[in-house]
């Protein structure tokens, strides 16, 4: 199968499901005469997207900036933290269970605190995106480093290679597949973190990002705008997920079964 045919084969089933769901959605709203402020039709959402395209695309750009910065921070800090936890057993036993707090604390509850600590605007949104998305990266890195093949480790031990050098030459490359898995999960979470962060921590008006557009549209019962912003945020999530997949494929395609 050619690459183009392969891509088509992968894309058409979910695309078909989306089309069916949109048609059903349209029918339900029309048949049951649901008012637009409760649930707009997909066509109404599409119309809003076209009408507000410049504003939406600019907002998506702002949210993308925060998402990418938060995601990059969680990728770097997550790999560093996972590596440190792997290298220092005491820290692993003491700190790793506590990192679960990053998963459990509701972001909506701490987002206002982030605004107090980092001020309104980009920094607090970036921190929100990072907090929500860092745990899968830490877990993926740690899992990868903990599962290094014992036989390969022995080769490094025989040559009396230090732990840091063994981490660099063996542990880190070995962990790439599980780090990529963590980053895939983190990609979606970073978008969620940025949007929630923007609910409370972003400027509105001309320079509003998607999260701020959603909150202001909700207040004004502009439900189709809310849905249009959600669609843009979803597209952003898909794009980031796709970029992670592409990066993973480039790194792993020659030697790991998951990318072949």
* CA 122 – CA 115 distance, rounded (Å): 10
Instruction: Indicate the residue among 177 and 201 with the shorter CB distance to another protein.
Output: 177
Please state at what angle helix 223-252 crosses helix 210-219, rounded to 10 degrees.
Answer: 160
* CA 107 – CA 133 distance, rounded (Å): 11
* Min dist. Cβ of residue 165 to another protein (A): 8
Instruction: Indicate the residue among 171 and 193 with the shorter CB distance to another protein.
Output: 171
Instruction: Indicate the residue among 185 and 252 with the shorter CB distance to another protein.
Output: 252
* CA 256 – CA 21 distance, rounded (Å): 36
Judged by the rule CB under 8 A, the positions of this chain that interact with another protein are 149, 151-152, 154-159, 161, 165, 169-170, 173, 176, 254-256
* Min dist. Cβ of residue 253 to another protein (A): 11
Instruction: Classify the phi-psi angles of 187: left when phi > 0, otherwise alpha if psi is within -120 to 50, otherwise beta.
Output: alpha
* Min dist. Cβ of residue 10 to another protein (A): 24
CB distance 241 to 184 below 8 Å: yes
* CA 137 – CA 77 distance, rounded (Å): 9
Instruction: Indicate the residue among 133 and 141 with the shorter CB distance to another protein.
Output: 141
Instruction: Indicate the residue among 81 and 148 with the shorter CB distance to another protein.
Output: 148
* CA 202 – CA 34 distance, rounded (Å): 32
* Min dist. Cβ of residue 81 to another protein (A): 23
Instruction: Indicate the residue among 99 and 146 with the shorter CB distance to another protein.
Output: 146
* Min dist. Cβ of residue 254 to another protein (A): 6
* CA 162 – CA 12 distance, rounded (Å): 50
* CA 37 – CA 4 distance, rounded (Å): 42
- Retrieve residue 114's tokens: 């982030």
* Min dist. Cβ of residue 152 to another protein (A): 6
């Amino acid at each position: 199968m050619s690459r183009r045919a392969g891509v088509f084969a992968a894309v058409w089933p979910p695309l078909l499901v989306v089309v069916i769901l949109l048609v059903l959605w349209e029918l339900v709203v029309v048949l049951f005469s649901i008012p637009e402020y409760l649930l707009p039709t997909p066509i109404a959402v599409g119309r809003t997207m076209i009408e507000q395209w410049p504003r939406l695309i600019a907002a998506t750009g702002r949210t993308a900036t925060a998402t990418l910065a938060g995601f990059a921070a969680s990728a770097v800090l997550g790999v560093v933290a996972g590596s440190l936890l792997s290298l220092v057993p005491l820290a692993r036993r003491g700190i790793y269970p506590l990192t679960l707090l990053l998963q459990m604390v509701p972001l909506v509850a701490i987002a206002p605190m982030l605004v107090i600590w980092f001020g309104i605007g980009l920094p607090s949104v970036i921190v929100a995106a990072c907090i929500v998305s860092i745990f899968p990266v830490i877990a993926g890195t740690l899992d990868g480093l903990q599962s290094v093949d014992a036989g390969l480790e022995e080769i490094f031990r025989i040559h009396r290679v230090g732990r840091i050098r063994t981490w660099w030459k063996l542990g880190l490359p070995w962990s790439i597949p599980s780090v990529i898995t963590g980053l895939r999960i983190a990609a979606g979470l970073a978008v969620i973190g940025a949007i929630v962060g923007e609910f409370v921590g972003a400027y509105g008006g001309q320079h509003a990002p998607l999260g701020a557009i959603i909150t202001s549209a909700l207040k004004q019962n502009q439900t189709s705008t809310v849905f249009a912003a959600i669609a843009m945020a979803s597209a952003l999530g898909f794009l980031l997920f796709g970029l992670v997949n592409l990066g993973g494929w480039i790194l792993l395609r020659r030697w790991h079964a998951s990318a072949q």
